[in-house]
Amino acid sequence: MTTKNIYLNLSQQDKKYALRLLDKSDLNKNLRHNENLIEIEISSINKDKTDLDSMSEEITTLIVNIIKYKLLKEYIWNQYHETYSDEEDIIYMHSLELFKKKEVFISDFIKNKVSNYLLTNDYINIEGFVNFRMKEFMKYISTIGDIAVEEYIIKKDKDEFINVLKYFIEVQDEKIDLLRVHIMKDNSFGLYDKFGKKIDNIDNEEIINMVIQENLNYEDYLISTLLSLCPKKIEILDMLKNNSSKEIVDTIKSIFENRVESVHQN
């Protein structure tokens, strides 16, 4: 039997990730370090595919942790600190959510890179491996950070806009006791009063002008109509039941809060 040894080199800054690797007991590991560097020796008894897979898996986990907990965070701070000072933590947490949605793909890509490397090498400098052998892929990681910022801005703007609408509702007089909103399967909507009579004509010049000037879509028009009618209570029947209708229902609930109730078709 032969022993397969792999040597990992990390900076002292990555010590906590090295210690996480040592906690895994699948393979033999030894740690040596000086003031600047940490070296981990990973050894296995049989130089076969199973051992290499285990080594690749553990090294991949190490690299993934460094990317999502260190490099992604550093990217957010370096790129957006001046623009979004004091908001970096929120943006980073959102970028982690996006990262985790893609983590299986990311891990598979990195493991393939590591596995191929270990076939002909027994020494891997983690920082150099990430910076040079994964240089193009790291652009994908930075894109996750950029998307997180864009989505954060959109959500922030939407939350601020909803707060304005909530205030508008609070100061308005209620104009109708009960409004029933039916979201149809064709993505249109119908409005009915408490007697089940359809409300066909929304005669509000201000809303019509706003729809035209702001180029509002059908969902925006629905919200604008609800604001105009300012009902005491809203019942929503969602017959479409997809992501689009769920989003519009959630928006209505966030604006009108406890005035809204979802009903189900018998």
Q: Provide the pLDDT for residue 230.
A: 87
- E-strand ranges in the chain read 4-11, 28-33, 37-44, 123-125, 176-183, 189-192, 231-238, 260-263
**CA dist., res. 253 & res. 262, Å (int):** 9
Residue among 197, 208, 258 nearest 231 (CA): 258
Q: Provide the pLDDT for residue 199.
A: 83
Residue among 106, 32, 112, 24 nearest 68 (CA): 106
Q: Report, as an integer, the average pLDDT of 94-100.
A: 94
Which residue type occupies 254? S
Is pLDDT of 128 > 80? yes
Is pLDDT of 247 > 80? yes
